Amino acid sequence: MTMPTESPSQAATAPSDDASRRWLRRLRATGAERDAAVTELHDLLLRAARFEIGRRASSLTHLRGSDHDDLAQQSADDALVALLGKLDDFRGESRFTTWAYKFALLEAAVKLRTRPWHLREIPLEAEGWERLRDTRTSLAGQTEVAELIDAVRDGIAEVLTPHQRSVLVALTLNDVPIDVLAERH
C-alpha cells in the first residue's frame, strides 16, 4: 500500500499541530465562530503587546504609565490587522500563537520607537554636521575631516533633490526614525 505524498509546498504550508490548525480554521470561518476567534486572537496580541511595552518601558523616560495601555491597545489592533492580512502566509513552521506573538512584539517595538516623535517637529535642516567632526585628531586630521564634510555637504546640495536632501539629513544627522519620516511624508 502506498501512502499519499504531499508536494513540498503543501507540506510547508500545513501546520503540524492541532491548535494551529484550529486557529486557522476558526479565523477563516464566518459568522460567530470567526468573531470569537478574532476576539480571542486580539486578547492574545494585547497580552503580548503589554508584555513587550512593560519590558521596554523601564528604559524609556518619555513614556508615562498612562501611555502603556494605550500603546498596547494600538499595537494589538495594528498587529491583528496585519496578521489577518497575512493569514495565508503562515507556513506552520512554528505554533500559530508564536507566529502571532511576533506581530504584536513588532508593532509594540515600532510604537515605542516612534512615540518620542509623536508631537515633535521633524528637523529637516542639517543641524548635526558638527557632530561628525572629531576633535581628538590632530589639527591636520581635523582640517582633512572638515574638508571631507564640506565636500559631502556640497555634493548633497548639488546632486540630491530637496526632498532627498531633507530625508537624508533627517535620517543621518537628526536621528529621525525612518518609519516616523515615512508616516509624515
Q: Output the pTM of the full model.
A: 0.60
Could you read off the pLDDT of 63-117 as tens digits, one per residue?
Answer: 555 678 888 999 999 999 999 999 999 999 999 999 999 999 999 988 887 765 5
Listed in order, strand segments (DSSP E) in the chain are none
131-164 in b/e form (b: 16+ CB < 10 A) is: eeeeeeeeeeeeeeeeeeeeeeeeeeeeeeeeee
Conformational region of residue 2, where left means phi above 0, alpha means psi within -120 to 50, and beta covers everything else = beta
Q: For residue 48, which of 99, 84, 113, 114 has the smallest C-alpha distance?
A: 99
Q: Using CA atoms, how far apart are residues 74 and 110, in angstroms rounded to an integer?
A: 11
